[in-house]
Amino acid sequence: MKNKKKGFTFVEILVLVGVLSIIVGSILTVVVSWQRSWNISKVQMDVQSQARRAMSKITEELIQTSQSKVSINVARDVITFQLPNNDYAGGTFTWGDQIQYSLISGPTGISQLLRTNLTTGQTEILASYINGMQFTLANGIISIQVTVDKTPKGEQNPVIIQLDSQVSLRNL
């Protein structure tokens, strides 16, 4: 009588382990790739949000001023201007707060867009990861260029967004 044992042979177990290893490796590759893509997309959305927030606030205030009330320091990426008061006394505008936008390096080394009310001394950080601002003034129109970049975790290449806008100043 032959002794028949039920079970798997060593070769069958090795084949099974090999096939499972390939399947698990493929799944892990897909998951890691998906996670990396998700992380990059998240950083892209953050960078776009930062750039839009910065550009929106700058243009919202610049549209209120006039060319004679604007000073641009190209070397330091700084713009200073004065806002009109909400009154129109005697047929002329009266001018109020002096505002300055500038780039600073935050405590963690991340560049930030700083809005300073030079009249009251109040400061506000409007956006982070702003790597560059450029202002040019010609014929009552200010051209603004804001560059934002941020490197996702585990990546070497930064996500870079550049927004351009033009603002027509009041003719006062």
Helix (H, G, I), strand (E, B) or coil at 13: helix
Residue 26, CA distances (Å) to 33, 38, 153 in order: 11, 18, 23
The closest of 143, 146, 147 to 166, measured between CA atoms, is 143
pTM, two decimals, is 0.76
Quick one: pLDDT band at residue 89, thresholds 50, 70, 90? low
Tell me which of 25 and 74 has the higher pLDDT: 25
pLDDT band at 172 (very low <50, low <70, confident <90, very high): low
Q: What is the mean pLDDT of the chain?
A: 88
Say if residue 1's pLDDT is above 60. Answer: no
Residue tagged 């079970």 (tokens): 7
Q: Which two tokens stand for residue 101?
A: 């936008």
Amino acid at 110: I
